[in-house]
Structure 1
Amino acid sequence: MCSAEFSELKGTPYWNARCSQDTVDAVVEHVTHGNSFVTTGHLVGCHRTTVARIVRVAGSHARHLHDLNARDLQVTSIQADERYGFVGRKKEAVWDATVIDPSSKFLIQGEIGERTAALTQSLLMHARARLTDPHGLVLFTDGFLSYQTLFPEVFGRPYRPARQGSRGRFPKTAYRIPRSAAHVRIIKEYSGKRVVNVRTEIAAGTQVRVNEELQRLGYHKPNTSAVERQNATARRMNPHLARKSLAFARLRIHRESLAHLVQGIYNWCRVQRGLRSKLDVPKGRQLYLQRTPSMTIGLTDHVWKVRDWLSQPQGVSCRA
């Protein structure tokens, strides 16, 4: 006898959870509907430390599934933005940076940290690695200058300029923006806390490429409406992001774990009214096919239930 344990739950949040699968499902459902750890514990019938442990394990599981499945994405535009928050106390500001596909509403990448150029670089580089053609997209952002600085390096094509003469160092690597790529900044001007003007600026690329993408998206002018709307959804789903709430994250690991968990549930398990498609042949009274972002972008062909999604072992793809 080898004395080894074998279970179909190994590699899932249910493995050694020390509680039933129904309890794990209930905890995940409640915390991703905006309930705090304490409130979730009262509703489910367990201690808040149990809720925190389940969130940590499920968040790690969600991150691994996202890394495995969110690859070779075929998108022609992305939108990026950051959400303000904090950990422990308000003086410790932490930002949730997000990249979303405005067409399918699929969350491509999320990063957490201080709002610096390093956070922006990590966000864009990881998002770039998930795309099939990173040189053929339009990036829509706000006026944060780090996006403009990093766009050529991340989405451009590197080349080495010719050296002038035969002595001295070679010039630094430069980046050429392809005709199929562009970067548009949507800059808001404020008077106090009120927006008084919004102007757009093409930081890289051509107006022709931008107009082509706007027509494909059905937009009349450049905007970041998809990621701004997702910010509101994230604050509703994630209790750590709720404004004027006592449910903020005390520990950094809980903040990161819940962010990964919310991202996974949003992409795979939550249908959106704006993504539904009309059926060619109605099924009784059903006229529309309800879709999730992962269905719209082509990663799966059905809405995943929370139990099925959590039961997916690490290393096994969810893609159809």
Structure 2
Amino acid sequence: MCSAEFSELKGTPYWNARCAQDTVDAVVEHVTHGNSFVTTGHLVGCHRTTVARIVRVAGTHARHLHDLNARDLKVTSIQADERYGFVGRKKEAVWDATVIDPSSKFLIQGEIGERTAALTQSLLMHARARLTDPHGLVLFTDGFLSYQTLFPEVFGRPYRPARQGSRGRFPKTAYRIPRSAAHVRIIKEYSGKRVVNVRTEIAAGTQVRVNEELQRLGYHKPNTSAVERQNATARRMNPHLARKSLAFARLRIHRESLAHLVQGIYNWCRVHRGLRSKLDVPKGRQLFLQRTPAMAIGLTNHVWKVRDWLSQPQGVSCRA
């Protein structure tokens, strides 16, 4: 015998939690339904610092599981957008940038930071690394110029332009947009706080490729409806994003941890009415199969319960 200790909980948020597994599950359920740390502590029967500790550990666990499972994704279009928020005080603005697959509603990548080109680049580069074919998709965004600037660099094919003559510097690396890729900007024009006009602009690619993707998605015209709807869902699930609330994040680590946790629960544990599929043979009164984004994109074949998802050790894949 090696005399080594073994625990099924090691590598999960239950390891050294200093509270029952049911308490950890209840904390995760409450905070991902929009309850603040203080309210969750009252409902579960623990201190708010215990809630914060569980969220930090569970958020790290969710990030590791997402990095392990969200790979080689087969998508033909993505939508990107940012949500405003803050940490500590409203002067310290922190934005949640998101990339979503409009077909399966799967959250491919999320980043948190100031709304700059660096945040956009990190978002698109990490999203690109999770895709099987990053050169064969259509990107739908709003009018934020960083997407237009970075799209050729991230999703284009690099090449070296021919040198003019034999003296001087070599030309900088340029990028070609494949025929299978395109970028569409949906630009809203405002008068005060009211939207007075919405116009679309093909920033890269061809109209033929865009029309092909719109037909596949069932859209009549380009839009960012999937990511905009997810913005509302995120504000409902994440108390740090709720408008006109005292449940904002005091520390950045709590903001980031809860964002990762909400993303994991959304992808693997929450069913979406728009993703349900009709059963070939009804099961009693059940006519539809309820699906999560992870099921719709093909990563799993069942709805994960919170206990099962949190019990998945780091390094062990959830993919079917």
Q: Residue 184 of structure 1 aligns to a residue in which SS? A: strand
Identity %: 98
Per the normalisation by structure 2, the TM-score is 0.99
Give the Cα separation in 2 of the matches to 1:5 and 1:82. Answer: 45
Q: Residue 67 of structure 1 aligns to a residue in which SS? A: helix
Give the Cα separation in 1 of the matches to 2:150 and 2:104. Answer: 25
RMSD of the alignment, in Å? 0.7
Give the Cα separation in 2 of the matches to 1:309 and 1:181. Answer: 35
Q: Residue 84 of structure 2 aligns to a residue in which SS? A: strand
Q: Deviations over 1:95-117 (max 9, x none)?
A: 00000000000000000000000
Give the Cα separation in 2 of the matches to 1:3 and 1:252. Answer: 41
Deviates more, 1:104-113 or 1:5-14: 5-14
Q: Deviations over 1:29-81 (max 9, x none)?
A: 00000000000000000000000000000000000000000000000000000
Give the Cα separation in 1 of the matches to 2:42 and 2:317. Answer: 34
Q: Which residue number corresponds to residue 28 of structure 1?
A: 28
Give the Cα separation in 2 of the matches to 1:238 and 1:297. Answer: 23
Cα distance, 1:91 vs structure 2: 0.1
Give the Cα separation in 1 of the matches to 2:196 and 2:229. Answer: 20
Q: Which residue number corresponds to residue 220 of structure 1?
A: 220
Pair 1:120-2:120 in alignment: yes
Per the normalisation by structure 1, the TM-score is 0.99
Q: Which runs of 5+ in 2 are unaligned?
A: none
Q: Could you list the runs of 4 or more consecutive aligned residues of structure 1 that deviate by over 6 angstroms after TM superposition?
A: none
Q: Residue 85 of structure 2 aligns to a residue in which SS? A: strand
Deviates more, 1:231-240 or 1:1-10: 1-10
Q: Deviations over 1:146-182 (max 9, x none)?
A: 0000000000000000000001110000000000000
Q: Deviations over 1:254-279 (max 9, x none)?
A: 00000000000000000000000000
Q: Which residue number corresponds to residue 11 of structure 1?
A: 11
Q: Which runs of 5+ in 1 are unaligned?
A: none
Q: Residue 195 of structure 2 aligns to a residue in which SS? A: strand
Q: Deviations over 1:273-295 (max 9, x none)?
A: 00000000000000000000000
Q: Deviations over 1:126-151 (max 9, x none)?
A: 00000000000000000000000000
Q: Residue 6 of structure 1 aligns to a residue in which SS? A: coil
Q: Residue 249 of structure 2 aligns to a residue in which SS? A: coil
**Count of aligned pairs:** 320
Give the Cα separation in 2 of the matches to 1:66 and 1:37. Answer: 24
Cα distance, 1:5 vs structure 2: 2.9
Q: Residue 290 of structure 1 aligns to a residue in which SS? A: strand
Give the Cα separation in 1 of the matches to 2:254 and 2:93. Answer: 15
Cα distance, 1:4 vs structure 2: 4.2
Give the Cα separation in 2 of the matches to 1:98 and 1:268. Answer: 17
Q: Which residue number corresponds to residue 316 of structure 1?
A: 316
Give the Cα separation in 1 of the matches to 2:72 and 2:243. Answer: 35
Deviates more, 1:1-10 or 1:134-143: 1-10
Q: Residue 73 of structure 2 aligns to a residue in which SS? A: coil
Cα distance, 1:6 vs structure 2: 1.4
